[in-house]
């Protein structure tokens, strides 16, 4: 049953969180509201007054919160929520580093973090933001156990280990199990020799070997002789977690699409400069506040838009490319949120009743002033067999106004490579059919051919 403060929310407010008995998170239009239960109100206000919390809020790494009534708080809205199964390993690592940083700071001020999951973190552009403020609670000064340790291992350390050493993508890990990986699972995946060397030995093998010997017992707090000793033990646990996390820091790696513009593309320097000038011209016309870059590769054009003060969501199905975007955006401080999303099969709704985590399309629909689809349409139309009409229909659902799109003709080397001799099957993919499909939902503002190439750039405006 809803409390009085919740009753003021609209009937259409979607339930976002119900797992924490200390409170419930709601969305009411563009507002993010949290109803907090009982004694948790005083604990939350006490934590928000700590130096750790105030410093993090000022840095933008802890969500800004405001008390509205006796048990209702409003939080700063993160423009585009994302989830661990859409992140490259670099972003999972960054979320883990932020969790450790806040856990250590809170510990010094008498607070513990009761859960340690990447679902506590969202990204504002490339910056990690801890959003679950109810994760912090006053701690018993003599309790030396960190109950969230196992969860941190399952949802941060083991997924990063499986990704780094076994080549396991994060998407199936988190979409298949909300609470990450068990040591027994990674043990089955690992090789015989791997099991005897760090980090497999400490994170996987020893917990697996011990699990068969332990009998089920009721948990009791690990009471230390003094508060000083309890603090010392907890500090060592957190430092150990951070060392293990750092040992699994993702490294830049190559893939079929990494380094494409610099080393693998068919563009000459002059053609690339011409394409860049056309994109800049489109940005100057559209002046977008929010941009979705579909098939962003390593983010070259996402960065162009962000440098023009746009907020950019950059998606690509290649995790190595998306990780490269995150590193570049973080180093330059650009407002670019890179996500591992395949536009042909975007992330579905997840969680209980498919309501906890909205699908990518539900989050994206009508959310952008400009959608960019550069060198993407031929992959959708050929590799995925998506009709041009469907491609433009989804683009029209996603953009509020502008679409910047590239057409690649049948004589283009990249087109011929993916057609693989099945020319007759795709003979309908002409520039005339492309423009006809576009006219169903868009008006043409500008178009230009890239010199010496079978490629055209179109700036289109959505029909009202």
171-193 mean pLDDT? 95
Whether the domain at 12-75 and the domain at 260-462 fall into the same CATH topology: no
Dihedral angle of Cα 209, 213, 218, 220, to the nearest 10 degrees: -60
Are 6 and 24 in contact by the 8 Å Cβ rule? The answer is yes
pLDDT at residue number 415: 84
Q: For a pLDDT cut of 90, what percent of the chain falls above it? A: 80
DSSP one-letter string for 16-78 = EE-S-TTEEEEEETTEEEEEE-TTHHHHHHHHHTSHHHHHHHHHTSB--EEE-SSSEEEEPPP
Write out pLDDT tens, residues 338-360. 999 999 999 999 998 898 899 99
**CA distance linking residue 18 with residue 404, whole number of Å:** 40
Q: 3-state class of 191 per DSSP? A: coil
- Does residue 28 surpass a pLDDT of 90? no
- CATH 3.30.200 for domain 12-75, yes or no, is yes
Helix (H, G, I), strand (E, B) or coil at 189: helix
CATH-assigned architecture of domain 260-462? 3-Layer(aba) Sandwich (3.40)
Whether residue 40 is predicted with pLDDT greater than 90 in this model: the reply is yes
Task: Provide the mean pLDDT of the chain.
Answer: 91
Confidence of residue 21 (pLDDT cuts 50, 70, 90): confident
pLDDT tier for residue 267 given thresholds of 50, 70 and 90: confident
- Degrees, nearest 5: CA angle 200-154-45: 140
Model confidence over 214-266: pLDDT tens digits? 555 555 667 899 999 999 999 999 999 999 999 999 987 766 656 665 655 77
Whole-Å CA distances, 310 to 318, 401, 461, 463: 23, 15, 18, 23
- Output the pLDDT for position 423: 74
Report how far residue 412's alpha carbon sits from residue 414's, in angstroms, rounded to the nearest whole number. 6
16-43 mean pLDDT: 87
Position 463 scores a pLDDT of 94
Question: What mean pLDDT is predicted for residues 97-110?
Answer: 97
Closest by alpha carbon to 260, among 321, 334, 209?
321
Q: What is the pLDDT of residue 2?
A: 32
- The answer, yes or no, to whether residue 323 has pLDDT greater than 90, is yes
Average pLDDT over residues 34-54: 95
Could you tell me the residue ranges of all domains in the chain?
12-75, 84-247, 260-462
As a whole number, mean pLDDT of residues 68-83 equals 96
Distances (CA, A) of 446 to 300, 373, 396, 441: 22, 15, 17, 15
Q: Does residue 9 carry a pLDDT above 70?
A: no
**Length of the chain counted residue by residue:** 464
The three-class DSSP label of residue 185 is: helix
* Res 6: pLDDT: 34
Of the listed ranges 146-160, 213-227, 254-268, 423-437, the one predicted with least confidence: 254-268
CB 135 within 8 A of CB 114: yes
Reported confidence tier of residue 18, pLDDT bands at 50, 70, 90:
confident
Q: What is the pLDDT of residue 218?
A: 53
**pLDDT for the residue numbered 260:** 60
Average pLDDT for 92-106: 98
Would you tell me how many other CB atoms lie within 10 Å of the CB of residue 385? Answer: 10
Quick one: tokens of 436? 């006809």
pLDDT band for position 428 (50/70/90)? confident
Among the residue ranges 38-47, 85-94, 220-229, 283-292, the one predicted with the least confidence is: 220-229
Nearest to 102 by CA among 258, 242, 229, 240: 242
Partnered with residue 31 across adjacent β-strands are 28
Please report where in the chains the tokens 């939350």 appear, as a residue: 44
Q: With 90 as the cut, is the pLDDT of residue 174 above it?
A: yes
CB 117, CB 126: distance < 8 Å: no
Q: Where are the alpha helices (DSSP H) in 355-455?
A: 360-364, 377-378, 388-398, 413-419, 431-439
Query: Does residue 162 carry a pLDDT above 60?
Result: yes
Write down the H helix ranges in 155-299: 158-166, 170-176, 183-189, 200, 206-211, 227-247, 269-286
Given a cut of 90, is residue 457 above it in pLDDT?
yes
Could you read off the pLDDT of 357-379 as tens digits, one per residue?
999 999 999 999 999 999 999 99
Contact 314, 321 (CB under 8 A): no
Identify the CA nearest to 96 among candidates 57, 49, 154, 137.
154
The 3-state DSSP class for residue 373 equals strand
* Cα–Cα nearest to 369, from 278, 285, 287: 287
Residue 15 has pLDDT above 60, yes or no: no
């Amino acid at each position: 049953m809803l409390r009085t403060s919740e009753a003021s929310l609209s009937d259409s407010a979607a339930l976002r969180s119900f797992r924490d008995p200390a409170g419930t998170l709601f969305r009411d239009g563009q507002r993010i509201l949290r109803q907090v239960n009982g004694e948790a109100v005083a604990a939350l206000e006490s934590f928000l007054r700590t130096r750790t919390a105030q410093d993090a809020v000022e840095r933008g790494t802890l969500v800004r919160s405001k008390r509205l009534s006796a048990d209702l708080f409003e939080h700063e809205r993160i423009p585009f929520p994302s989830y661990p199964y859409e992140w490259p390993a670099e972003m999972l690592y960054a979320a883990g580093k932020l969790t450790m940083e806040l856990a250590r700071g809170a510990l010094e001020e008498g607070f513990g973090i009761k859960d340690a999951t990447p679902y506590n973190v969202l990204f504002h552009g490339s910056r990690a933001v801890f959003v679950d403020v109810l994760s912090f609670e006053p701690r018993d000064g003599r309790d030396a156990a960190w109950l969230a340790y196992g969860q941190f291992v399952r949802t941060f350390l083991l997924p990063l280990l499986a990704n780094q050493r076994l080549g396991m993508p994060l998407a199936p890990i988190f979409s298949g199990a909300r609470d990450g990986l068990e040591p027994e699972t990674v043990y089955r995946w690992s090789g015989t020799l791997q099991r005897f060397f760090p980090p497999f030995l400490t994170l996987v093998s020893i917990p697996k070997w011990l699990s068969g010997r332990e009998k089920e017992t009721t948990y009791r707090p690990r009471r230390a002789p003094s508060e000083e000793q309890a603090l010392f033990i907890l500090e060592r646990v957190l430092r150990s977690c951070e060392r293990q996390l750092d040992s699994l820091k993702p490294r830049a790696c190559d893939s079929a699409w990494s380094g494409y513009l610099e080393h693998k593309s068919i563009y000459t320097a002059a053609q690339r400069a011409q394409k860049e000038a056309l994109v800049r011209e489109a940005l100057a016309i559209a002046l977008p506040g929010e941009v979705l870059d579909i098939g962003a590769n390593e983010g070259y054009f996402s960065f162009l838009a962000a440098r023009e003060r746009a907020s950019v969501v950059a998606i690509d199905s290649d995790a190595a490319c998306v990780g490269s975007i995150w590193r570049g955006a973080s180093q330059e401080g650009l407002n670019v949120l890179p996500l591992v999303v395949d536009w042909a099969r975007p992330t579905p709704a997840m969680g209980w009743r498919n309501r906890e985590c909205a699908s990518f399309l539900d989050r994206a629909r009508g959310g952008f002033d400009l959608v960019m689809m550069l060198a993407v349409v031929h992959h959708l139309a050929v590799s995925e067999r998506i009709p041009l009409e469907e491609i433009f229909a989804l683009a029209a659902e996603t953009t509020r106004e502008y679409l910047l799109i590239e057409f690649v003709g049948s004589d283009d080397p990249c087109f011929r490579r993916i057609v693989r001799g099945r020319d007759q099957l795709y003979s309908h993919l002409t520039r005339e059919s492309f423009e006809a499909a576009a006219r169903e939902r868009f008006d043409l503002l500008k178009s230009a051919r890239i010199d010496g190439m079978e490629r055209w750039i179109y700036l289109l405006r959505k029909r009202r």
